[in-house]
Structures are given as C-alpha cells and as structure tokens.
Amino acid sequence: MTIAHDETFAINRARWDEVVAIHVASPFYRVKEFLAGEDILLPIERAEIGDIAGKSLVHLQCHFGLDTLALARRGATVTGLDFSSNAIAAAREIATRAGIDARFVEGNLYDAPNLIAERFDRAYVSWGAIGWLPDIKGWARVVAEMLKPGGELYLLEGHPFALALDQPDRETGGTGPLRPTFNYFGGGAPLVFEEDTTYTGEATKLANTKTHVFSHGIGEILSALLEAGLSLTYFKEHDSVAWSLWGMMLEGPDRMYRLPEGHPNLPVSFSLKARKV
Ligand SMILES: C[S@@+](CC[C@H](N)C(=O)[O-])C[C@H]1O[C@@H](n2cnc3c(N)ncnc32)[C@H](O)[C@@H]1O
C-alpha cells in the first residue's frame, strides 16, 4: 500500500479503536443477549449463509468478533481478522466469556495472506466492511488467496447505489427527498467524513472524528472478484439494511432498517457468493 493509504489506515484505525468500547456496551450489538445464547445474526445472513458446520471460515474485518462467534456457534471453525487492536482484544474476551473456541488475528486486511497461513472453506465479509478499503481489486485478490480451491466467499453489504444517496436534511428530522450526494464509482480520493458520534446511536462524543471511506460500484466489486479468479454463484439486492442510512428509515422488529411505506423501493443492501475455481 502507498503512503497515502497508510495515512487512511491510521486515521480509520484510531476511530475504530475508539468506538470498540462503546459498541461492546451498545444495545445495537446485543453482546449481553449473545452471551445469554441469542442468535444475533440478522435475517439476511441467517437465511443465506447455508450450512457451515464443520467448515473452516475466515471473517475478514470482524470488528469485535460477535458475528464471528455467532458463526462458530453454527459449527464453523472460525478465524477473525481486524486491524483494530481494541476490537481484537474485545473479541478474545467475549470468546472466553462465551466459552467459544475462536482465533482472532490483529492486522490489516491487505496483509491477511501473510499473517494467516491457513486457507479456508469460507470467507465471510459483512455490513460496513469494504467501504474502508481503498483498493477493491486488492481486496478481491486477498479473498481469493485466503480460500482453498472450491472455497466460497459470502459478502453482504450496504448497496453502493444507496450509499451514493443522502437526505440533505437528515440532521433535522429527515423528511426531504434523497439526492445523489456521493460518488457511486470508486477509484478516486477517499470521502472524508467528520462525525463526533458513532452509528450505534450513543451520544458519547468521540475524539477521533475523521474517517476515510471509499465508494465501490457493483460492477467494480463483481469485476474485481472475477479477475481474482472467483466465479459468481449468487447475487441478490435487498430492501433492508443493518443500519439507518437516512433519517427517514424505520427499524423493524427484525432489527433491519427500511424505507417508509409509500417511498419508491430501492436496493439498500446486496449479498453475493463467489467460489474459487
Ligand atoms: C463495521 S465493522 C465490520 C462489520 C461487522 N459486521 C460488525 O459490525 O461487527 C468494520 C471493521 O473493519 C475494520 N477495518 C477497517 N479497515 C480495515 C483494514 N484496512 N484492515 C482490517 N480491518 C479494517 C474496522 O476496524 C472495523 O472493525
């Protein structure tokens, strides 16, 4: 990675390190419920991941490992990787408290093939991961390298079309129409955001307010995976997403966020599976 990317990683890592304690304590993530035995995976991944019992699985950008541990409870042998040392420390602690055998590795996504010698039956990437990565082709090459031949990626993400839109009046209630606000296609400079609170809704003010985020269009993501030697076996667009993209979104009883009734429907997330040939 270039120096510019190193700066991006340092800015983003500081932010992620700071939010871990807030997220672990937040009702958004449901750590307490997980420790009490609840299945905290959301309905889309629950319906789509299939049978992973007995499979080796690497969860890339695993945050503090709650989803990783939920996948372990389904019988997979799991390894989570994240570049936030606070996230990895929290993941190890929660694994111990839950009595779940899991491996957590601290490191940059782009270094994963060197940091982890094992190759896996499954790679798992979900909800708010690839937007932190400047180079989507490099990401796809890492995914391909981490898989055994015949191994499969499951990716579940915010939809890049939706991520290009914003409700300009979101801070004041969010009743206004969605407008194209951010680039859809990637490849350029990062979008620089300044936000002093995190997405889980707590009021805690953050010291690390700045983040660098990258757009990746659907075609760019698919082409990157195909070029890296994976073949697409599944692709679906969804009308619900794991976090509130805009003030007008409503949370359902299934913890998913949707546009209000009567609003033209739009894809707000997508999922895919791709197999290493
Ligand atoms: C929104 S979280 C991942 C989503 C996960 N489903 C969750 O919410 O539990 C994004 C994660 O990506 C990690 N991350 C961002 N850039 C990274 C990089 N270059 N290498 C490794 N991890 C990275 C952050 O530390 C953070 O834990």
211-228 pLDDT, tens digit each = 999 999 999 999 999 999
The pLDDT score that the predictor gives to residue 176 is 83
Q: Could you tell which of 63, 157, 195 is best to mutate to test the pocket of ligand 1, judged by most ligand atoms within 8 Å of the CB?
A: 63
Q: Which atom of ligand 1 approaches the CA of 13 most closely? A: 25
Average pLDDT of the chain, as a whole number: 96
Q: What is the mean pLDDT of residues 89-112?
A: 98
Q: How far away, in angstroms, is 16 Cα from ligand 1 center?
A: 8
Q: Which atom of ligand 1 approaches the CA of 63 most closely? A: 27
Residue 63 Cβ inside 6 Å of ligand 1? The answer reads yes
Q: What is the mean pLDDT of residues 56-79?
A: 98
Tens of pLDDT, residue by residue over 122-158, are 999 999 999 999 999 999 999 999 999 999 999 999 9
Report angle CA 199, 175, 214 to the nearest 5 degrees: 40
Q: Who has greater pLDDT, 267 or 172?
A: 267
Tell me the CA distances in angstroms from 96 to 4, 99, 167, one per residue in order. 37, 5, 42
Residue 104 Cβ inside 6 Å of ligand 1? The answer reads no
Collapsing DSSP to helix, strand or coil, 242 comes out as coil
Domains and CATH numbers, the chain: 3-276 (3.40.50.150)
Task: State yes or no: pLDDT of 8 exceeds 60.
Answer: yes
Q: Could you tell which of 9, 41, 61, 64 is best to mutate to test the pocket of ligand 1, judged by most ligand atoms within 8 Å of the CB?
A: 61
